[in-house]
Amino acid sequence: MKVEAEAYTLLLASILLLISGVRVHAISYDHSVTTECLVEPQRAQYEGGIIVNPGFDQSLRGWTVNGKGVIEVRISKEGNRFVVARNRTHPLDSFSQRIQLEKGKRYAFSAWVQLGEETGTVSVVIRTNRSELVRGGHVIAQHGCWTLLKGGIVANFSSSVEILFESQNTEVELWVDSVSLQPFTKSQWRSHQDCNIERIRKSKVRFQIVHTNGTALEGTTVLINQIRSGFPFGCSINHNILTSKDYQTWFASRFQYTTFTNEMKWYSTEIKQGEENYSIADAMLEFTKQHNIAVRGHNIFWDNPKEQPQWVKSLSSEELQKAAEKRLNSVVSRYKGQLIAWDVVNENLHFSFFEDKLGQNASAEYYSKAYKLDQKPIMFMNEYNAIEYSGDKAVIPEKYKKKLEGILSYPGSEGISVGIGLQGHFVSGQPNLAFMRSVLDSLATTKLPIWLTEVSVDKGPNQEEYLEEILREAYAHPAVEGIITFSGPAIAGFKDMHLVDENFRNTPVGDVVDKLLNEWKSGSVQAKTDSRGFVDVSLFHGDYDVTVTHPVTKSSTTLNHSVKKHTPQKIVRVHV
């Protein structure tokens, strides 16, 4: 999959803010990413931001050598200047620039990189004055053309730090150009999210109310009431829901999307070989059907060797192949047509249990087979650390895309719908939203649906604040099509996040989820028509009922209306 250059909405157009009479020039975040490898690098984003001499046009001004290598500026045939580190002996031997970070700011990073030979991962690294190394983003760089490395950091302290580069292969030269680090305040970041939400999650709708004889009716009351959200923002459930009426009521009154945490997994449904028991998963599915709740299937297989049914661990390759085939046929056929998604081979970037025993195409083959049995669900990959931890190179966007490419191009998989699952299990510290956004930007070039599938934040002093930041970041990204949190009531036993306590009273984290559920729907909107019979409203995507009451006769009419993404605005005419 050679993904084309992505050019969606260059939001570079600057926003002019009027603050105390002075026009302040605020730069909006640039989502643009290209996965093309270019002969010449593009100019630095944001003209380099706070980086001094970002394009090396003033030789090495602002830059110093890091480690034992030699650094120099070279000029391409076309006359472009860039920096080179050679005679490297350590992965961090490169060039560095000292910059000042300010606590609370989010920093968007980008640079164009190339290797003197071969192909390899290049990372941007931030070194604090205590010599702590924080990775800010990774890309697979090539030789012979320039690749865009995007990333970022969120400063949880004010300090002077060094920004430098890392490449494991010390045999090769490291080339860099057009380096950029653009700071955003917390409120700029938030206002960018809010703008995006308005743009991507809502549509402007115009209703016109006319008398049956064709006359527009002025002063007519129109009541618009959202009955279903168009954006899947759900929550996991587990088997405890079967035995608690309170859990059921609490859940069904909030959520319309879910994932069963463990109950569909192989180790739950076939504890002893040959003795399948789906009674719990079946009962949970029955509950979701009764309440019109959509379910993501989780999961058919899990590539982690530790997460197999006990008896599976000791099977020979041939036995495993037979048992796995049976498992796949059994669970996919059983729930055919009833699920919106399947996590087919969970965590197949971090682990390779099936690939190791059955061959490198094992995952791709299972995606293909699952698709042949049931064409309804989107077939997902599902990984941790991709957005939550910038230090994990196993799940960098290029590796994710390469695995997807193998699944999409596997013989017999033509027409398969594939999705990008990002678990989103965050630890208790400040989440790196700038890194998270750069990863989403990069994965968005696939044009495949991205879901956050298991969002949680470990317990800590700012748990609810961090959860809110993460959820907003996901909801504001144009490529994200759904979010499921892995949490529930205290009685369900989720260890990190409870939304309600033992008495079903909201925890602070539960307040955040309820607040966002409420904020991301239009609720009830009441308006009166103007002289042309028009009512103009901006509505969140979803299903509505619209009640129109005649100004004189008081007779009313109700109709259903869906507001969908990508549907052009047209006038909804209501005759009364």
Ligand X SMILES: *[C@@H]1O[C@H](CO)[C@@H](O)[C@H](O)[C@H]1NC(C)=O
Identity at 555, one-letter amino acid code: S
Which residue, 498 or 521, is less far from ligand X as judged by CB?
Answer: 521
Asked if 429 touches ligand X (CB under 6 A), the answer is: yes
Which residue, 148 or 364, is less far from ligand X as judged by CB?
Answer: 364
Count the site residues for ligand X by CB under 6 A.
25
Angle between helices 433-444 and 397-408 (to 10 degrees): 30
CB of 202 to ligand X, least distance (A): 21
**454 tagged catalytic:** yes
**Best CA proximity match to 484, nearest among 246, 297, 309, 327:** 297
Structure tokens at 502: 């033992």
**Best CA proximity match to 474, nearest among 440, 432, 431, 447:** 440
Asked if 129 touches ligand X (CB under 6 A), the answer is: yes
Which residue, 144 or 493, is less far from ligand X as judged by CB?
Answer: 493
Contact letters (x/-) for ligand X, 269-308, by CB under 6 A?
Answer: --------x-xx----------------------------
Stretch that binds ligand X, among 23-31, 79-87, 320-328, 404-412 (CB under 6 A): 404-412
Contact letters (x/-) for ligand X, 142-181, by CB under 6 A?
Answer: --------------xx-x----------------------
Which residue, 332 or 546, is less far from ligand X as judged by CB?
Answer: 546
Site for ligand X in 222-251 (CB under 6 A): 227
Asked if 531 touches ligand X (CB under 6 A), the answer is: no
Stretch that binds ligand X, among 108-116, 124-132, 253-261, 512-520 (CB under 6 A): 124-132
The DSSP code sequence of 91-106 is: TT-EEEEEEEE-TT-E
**347 tagged catalytic:** yes
- Contacts for 77-81: CB closer than 8 Å, 24+ residues apart: 78/40, 80/40, 80/41, 80/177, 81/55, 81/56, 81/57, 81/177
Which residue, 102 or 157, is less far from ligand X as judged by CB?
Answer: 157
Distance of CA 234 to the CA centre of its chain: 14
Asked if 76 touches ligand X (CB under 6 A), the answer is: no
Catalytic residue among 263, 347, 388, 469: 347
**Best CA proximity match to 423, nearest among 447, 376, 464, 457:** 457
Q: What angle do CA 301, 306, 307 make, to 5 degrees?
A: 35
- Nearest-angstrom CA–CA distance, 433 and 426: 11
CB of 357 to ligand X, least distance (A): 13
Strand pairing report for 221-229 and 133-141: unpaired
Among 16, 23, 78, 213, binds ligand X (CB under 6 A): 213
The 10 Å Cβ neighbour count of residue 351 is: 18
Catalytic residue among 166, 270, 307, 454: 454
Identity at 522, one-letter amino acid code: S
Asked if 128 touches ligand X (CB under 6 A), the answer is: yes
Asked if 414 touches ligand X (CB under 6 A), the answer is: no
- Nearest-angstrom CA–CA distance, 444 and 440: 6
Asked if 361 touches ligand X (CB under 6 A), the answer is: yes
Q: Which residues bind ligand X (CB under 6 A)?
A: 128-130, 134, 156-157, 159, 211, 213, 215, 227, 277, 279-280, 359-361, 409-411, 429-430, 545, 559-560
Catalytic (active-site) positions:
347, 454
